[in-house]
Amino acid sequence: MAGHLRPQVARSSHSTSNTSNVTKPQQPATLAKRLLFPHLPPGSDLPPLFASPSCPPELNAEAYDFIALALRAFVNSWWTKITRYDKEFLPEVTTILTTIFRTLETRVLSTDFSPLIFSVAPALITQHYRDYRLAASKVSTSYAMGGAVPLPHLFHQLQPHVAVSAEGRIDEEYFRQAFDHILKLSLPPQDYAPEVERYIVREIILKVVVKDIIPQITQPWFIQRTILDLLGPPFDAESDKPADASPPSHTHPAHFSFHSLLVFFLSAMQSVSGIGLVLIRMYKQTLITIKLVNQPTHPIVNHRSTSGTWRTARQAMSPARDARSVSPPSSSYASAASSSISLHADTPPRNLRESSPNLFRHYAREPLTMISELFTMRERFATSAAMHTLCMICAAMTPFMDRLLTHVLYTRILSTSSILFILRLSKHTLFPNGYPGPPSIDPTPEEQTVIRQQLLRRLHEQVPTLAAPVFLGPSPERTLEEAINPLDDAACNMHLAVFILDALLLSIFPEMGVEGNGGNADLEVPERLDDDGEDWAPDMVVNRTMAMMTS
């Protein structure tokens, strides 16, 4: 019996192992692995796209998926018409993009965006509003030759820029040279030297940024609809439902009973306890936030470790390059990348700079000035007094406010979750079904008027009824309309977009603002920025904020 059972047991175990191997489904290869890494084994993971070890796998997968969708839609569509059998072009483009992303990553990690977000950008918006209102006041005067000179020309005289004409047209050569400089700093020498490859990549970036993105985001209806999306859904439907659904409840006189008194008492206790729990939670959250702000929460970038991580990640990509018979990058580029990362190596750490009372950035000053200019608060006594009081409180708490705003920026806005959300939203918006969706149709003038009226109504709903006359003046509708009027001209908005893009490029690539940057590469970033950091600014206010960035 045992001799007859033993083979059956062995056979059954063998059969179960076979069934387990058969029934175990093999995960299909993703689009990124099929297009970008066709030589990788089926069960292997994709190489890391970012050099930072703290990058989550979800961000790496979503970024590779976005790159694969973009290359399949915009590159593979015309490359397959040239040759159908070359499968090495997309992996080679992926390698170049990986090099660019990692170079940009090291620069972004070593850049402090607090001065850009809290000083330069609010100052640019404030100056845009002031110049627009000044130009609008001169339209029907002798300064405009009795109305012969349009508003964009008057605005261009106040904010001249070599990259923008008076009609709001962008000079492509300006950004072509800027993107070429970025490619020179990001690409290896063997990839930057071929002119055809560099020109193709540069023209693709130029077309996407200059011809597609900037003209779209500078349209007044696009800005107004974006603000509407940020404000959330309206409250009209919720406020109208109870009034329509509830029948008249005053047909019968009220009858007081012990049951109704008990229900009223318990409801009041529940409301009081709920308010108490909310206050306790707010108090605990405030204490936790204050403790986190007082500690050096923003990590100080260790440039040596970042450079080592960058090299390690490039070595992880080398097997994929070897599989495609591509030579690895030269060591000169790795040394050049490490030298570019160490631009800030000799600058004092951020927590040491903030500990000095003479080096506080006053991050709350420019946003408050921007809010005051947007809603013309200085023209009314109540709002002017409230704004001056708030400015004095923020000035007295300058060290804490600087740390608090920096903490909010790096934990709420520039966090990994927000970047992952933006990447997923961009992927679903640009490629709804895996391919580019139909081109968006601009709204008609009637639809643009409806969007503007909806924005005015939603902004008026955000202000409490009792506080609206105090903070918005006797005519809140007129104040809100004056707040969005400076964004109604696309040609004027083009100046603001170009100035903000210049400030962003100068923050990430500070050597672009220095004449003869090739010979001054050994200088420190603050020293090089002081040489030619005021040419791009439209006014002394922005010059002062740029000086704050370099302190």
Q: What is the DSSP string of 395-432?
A: HHTHHHHHHHHHHHIIIIISSHHHHHHHHHHHHHHH-T
Rounded to 5°, angle at Cα 118 from 115 and 119: 65
CA distance 546 to 529: 9
CA distance 236 to 225: 18
CA distance 147 to 126: 26
- Angular region, 76: left φ>0, alpha ψ -120 to 50, beta rest: alpha
pLDDT at position 338, please? 33
Tokens linked to 199: 């020109």
CA atoms within 13 A on the CB side of 238: 3
For residue 79, what are the contacts with CB-CB under 8 A and spacing of at least 6? 86, 89, 90
CA distance 229 to 300: 35
As to burial, measured by CB atoms within 10 angstroms (0-12 exposed, 13-18 middle, 19+ buried), residue 329 is buried
Tokens linked to 334: 């790795």
Per-residue pLDDT of the chain (551 residues; tens, 9 = 90+): 444 444 444 444 444 444 444 444 556 778 888 888 888 887 788 888 888 888 888 999 999 999 999 888 888 888 888 888 888 888 888 888 888 889 889 999 899 999 999 999 999 999 999 999 999 999 988 888 877 889 999 999 999 999 999 999 999 999 999 999 998 988 888 888 888 878 877 888 888 889 888 999 999 999 999 999 888 777 654 444 444 444 444 444 445 567 777 777 778 788 888 888 888 888 788 888 888 887 764 444 443 333 343 333 334 334 333 333 333 333 332 333 333 333 333 333 344 334 444 456 889 999 999 999 999 998 888 889 989 999 999 999 999 999 999 989 998 888 888 889 989 988 888 888 888 878 778 899 999 999 999 999 999 988 888 888 888 888 889 999 999 999 999 999 999 999 999 999 999 999 888 765 544 333 333 333 333 433 333 444 344 444 444 44
For residue 251, what are the contacts with CB-CB under 8 A and spacing of at least 6? none
Torsion of Cα atoms, 87 then 88 then 93 then 94, to 10°: 80
Tokens linked to 229: 């999306």
CA distance 89 to 36: 9
pLDDT at position 531, please? 39
For residue 334, what are the contacts with CB-CB under 8 A and spacing of at least 6? 311, 314
CA distance 217 to 490: 9
Tokens linked to 498: 């170009």
pLDDT at position 516, please? 59
Question: Is residue 184 within 8 Å of residue 192, measured between CB atoms?
Answer: yes
pLDDT at position 330, please? 36
Helix axes 89-109 and 57-74, enclosed angle (nearest 10)? 130
Query: What value does the CA radius of gyration of the chain take, rounded to a whole number of Å?
Result: 30
Tokens linked to 514: 């220095």
CA distance 321 to 91: 9
302 three-state secondary structure = coil
Question: Is residue 549 within 8 Å of residue 119, measured between CB atoms?
Answer: yes
286 three-state secondary structure = helix
DSSP lists the bridge partners of residue 504 as none
Tokens linked to 523: 């200088």
Whether the pTM exceeds 0.85: the reply is no
Question: Is residue 451 within 8 Å of residue 484, measured between CB atoms?
Answer: no
CA distance 196 to 212: 23
pLDDT at position 196, please? 82
pLDDT at position 514, please? 77
502 three-state secondary structure = helix
219 three-state secondary structure = coil
Q: How many residues does the chain have?
A: 551
